[in-house]
Structure 1
Amino acid sequence: MVAVRERRPRLARFLLPCLLAIWPAWAQETVALPEPVPTTSSRTFDPHHTRFGFELRTRWGQRVSGQFPQYEGEVSTLADGRHRVRIVLRTGGVVVSGSDRYTALARGPNFFDAQHYPYIEFVSEPHPDTLVRTGGRMRGRLSMHGVTRMETFMLSQADCERPGRDCDVLATGSISREDYGLDGWQFALADRVRFMLRVRLVETAQ
């Protein structure tokens, strides 16, 4: 019993310097996590000009196109001058062009499954306000069908000085259905889904 009691102080004296040596690196890694950047203003989507669509191809090369007429979101200006985009699409309102049957199937359990997953959300990483003029890659977090992944949309170069106000902001992005568990009709539909965005903005009422 005496020998056991003597080992505990020795063990503590050995472990304490090790823990102290490890702790600063762990603490530094935790503190380094980025903090949210405050928002100074935001603009919402102009319903007269904004369109959110998608497109798939069948195994036979036919094109299937659809729209999300029910949506919400905003483009926020952050305190450091960068912008952040948030888009929420309502899957229960999705419409497949020219087909009531395909519209019902798209909303149903074998595809977007609007009953269990009523929203698709995209939140971009903060990016320079010049991106909408020059065009380029916009990365962000896409949440769909119970899965969240980082995806990239490609913005087209603007053809006016104030894109989003005087002309549309255009963007496209392609995702894999397999990545999000959208595995319905694999025998008939290709894996890739292409999203298309055409956006105008209006100032948010204060």
Structure 2
Amino acid sequence: MALGLLRRSRSRSASAAARDLSLPLPAGAGAYGCEVVDPMGQPLGGAEVTVTALDSHRVAAQGTTDPYGLFMAALPPGSYSVMVSAEGLTPARSGVDITAGAVLPPARVELLPARQLELPAPGTWLFDPPHTAIRFIAKHVGMAHVHGRFTRFTGGIRVTPDVTDSQVQVRIDASSITTGNRTRDNHLRSADFPDVEHFPYIDFTSTRFVYRGGSRWTLNGTLTMHGTSRSVGLDTTYLGTVNGGYEQELRCAALAKAELHREDFTLNWRSMLARGIAVVGPTVQLELDVQAMYRTAETPTPPE
């Protein structure tokens, strides 16, 4: 009894503190904040929060909650998708509209115990490009992080009755890389990086699905870039299936992440530094936010 009262008291204290939070705002910015709690209603530190702009699919803010379960970020005005996740718990997704000069009260996000979601039906599921984003984050040498994405790609998932035998194929048009800076983007397409003239595509082909519990999987496969192939493991959160879209297509969704080391793909950043070229750092965080539409068992899985 006393323990329950103590828990409720701590929870109320954390919530009161969250309501009183304020954030200095840059001119023209608004603020988003959330208080993340576990299934017992206790503050959840270390939960991952990703805020993505709906118009550009770019990550606008990303981080983890503090020991009191709190996360805050200053954002430009616009509409955003917020994804909150933690190990062993079901991810939560919500939308938020930010207006200049407004500090919204912190949203309370309760993460529920992970459950075994209904797996996709056997057959072919094709990526839906308008609702799929392939993003990356790299640290610019001596400066802030660089956020970018690829705008042209194809992909599909061949789901088998035994899901661990399923296959994923993704083909990315390397020349579609964009970071919002034309000079930098032209450099990223050059021979110093993927060398899109000679290696126009970045390909990923899965080799194995490994179940990690709850909604977590590891997707092992081969990534080919700049003429070099390497084994890669994608830490994947399966988000379930739903009927949605203009024609109520059956869709499934997942969020996958991996850390890539540029030198594994013969992209020698030290050589570029020696030549005085300002580059991004030696590691790149890759993220795939995927929605796929169900077709039929006979539908080819791209790329051919």
TM-score computed with the length of structure 1 as normaliser? 0.70
What does residue 288 of structure 2 align with? 197
Using the alignment, how far apart are the partners of 1:75 and 1:167 within structure 2?
10
Q: Which structure has the bigger radius of gyration?
A: 1
What does residue 23 of structure 1 align with? none
Indicate how the Cα distance of structure 1 residues 63 and 202 shifts in structure 2: closer, same or farther if over 3 A, else same: same
CA RMSD of aligned residues (A): 2.6
Using the alignment, how far apart are the partners of 1:74 and 1:132 within structure 2?
23
Specify the code of the residue in structure 2 equivalent to 1:192: T
What does residue 162 of structure 1 align with? 241
Name the SS of the counterpart of 2:231 in structure 1.
Answer: strand
What does residue 10 of structure 1 align with? none
Name the SS of the counterpart of 2:209 in structure 1.
Answer: coil
Indicate how the Cα distance of structure 1 residues 125 and 45 shifts in structure 2: closer, same or farther if over 3 A, else same: same
1:151 aligns with 2:236: no
Using the alignment, how far apart are the partners of 2:152 and 2:293 within structure 1?
17
Aligned residue among 135, 145, 153 for 2:216:
135
What percent of counterpart residues are identical? 23
Specify the code of the residue in structure 2 equivalent to 1:199: V
Name the SS of the counterpart of 2:241 in structure 1.
Answer: coil
Using the alignment, how far apart are the partners of 2:213 and 2:294 within structure 1?
17
Instruction: List per-residue Cα deviations over 1:83-128 (Å, max 9, x = no partner).
Output: 21111111011111x2011111111111111000001111112326
TM-score computed with the length of structure 2 as normaliser? 0.49
Indicate how the Cα distance of structure 1 residues 78 and 52 shifts in structure 2: closer, same or farther if over 3 A, else same: same
1:173 aligns with 2:258: yes
Q: What 5-or-longer segments of structure 1 have no aligned partner?
A: 1-39
Indicate how the Cα distance of structure 1 residues 132 and 91 shifts in structure 2: closer, same or farther if over 3 A, else same: farther
Name the SS of the counterpart of 2:131 in structure 1.
Answer: coil
For residues 1-206 of structure 1, what are the structure 2 equivalents within 5 Å?
41-78=123-160, 80-81=162-163, 82-96=165-179, 98-127=180-209, 134-156=215-237, 158=239, 161-162=240-241, 168-184=253-269, 185-186=272-273, 188-204=279-295
Specify the code of the residue in structure 1 equivalent to 2:291: R
Specify the code of the residue in structure 2 equivalent to 1:46: D
Q: What 5-or-longer segments of structure 2 have no aligned partner?
A: 1-121, 244-249, 300-304
What does residue 9 of structure 1 align with? none
Q: Is the 8 A contact 1:133 1:163 kept in 2?
A: no
Using the alignment, how far apart are the partners of 2:185 and 2:136 within structure 1?
12
Using the alignment, how far apart are the partners of 1:201 and 1:151 within structure 2?
21
Specify the code of the residue in structure 1 equivalent to 2:178: V
How many residue pairs get matched?
163
Q: CA deviation at 1:186?
A: 3.9
Indicate how the Cα distance of structure 1 residues 166 and 77 shifts in structure 2: closer, same or farther if over 3 A, else same: closer
* Structure with higher strand content: 2
Higher relative contact order (CA closer than 8 Å, sequence separation 6+): 1
Specify the code of the residue in structure 2 equivalent to 1:162: T
Q: CA deviation at 1:53?
A: 1.2
Using the alignment, how far apart are the partners of 2:182 and 2:167 within structure 1?
35
Instruction: List per-residue Cα deviations over 1:127-155 (Å, max 9, x = no partner).
Output: 26x77961132111111101111111111
Using the alignment, how far apart are the partners of 2:220 and 2:242 within structure 1?
19
Specify the code of the residue in structure 1 equivalent to 2:147: S
What does residue 37 of structure 1 align with? none
Instruction: List per-residue Cα deviations over 1:145-204 (Å, max 9, x = no partner).
Output: 01111111111353xx42796674111101110110112544643100111100001123
Using the alignment, how far apart are the partners of 2:202 and 2:214 within structure 1?
26
Name the SS of the counterpart of 1:191 in structure 2.
Answer: strand
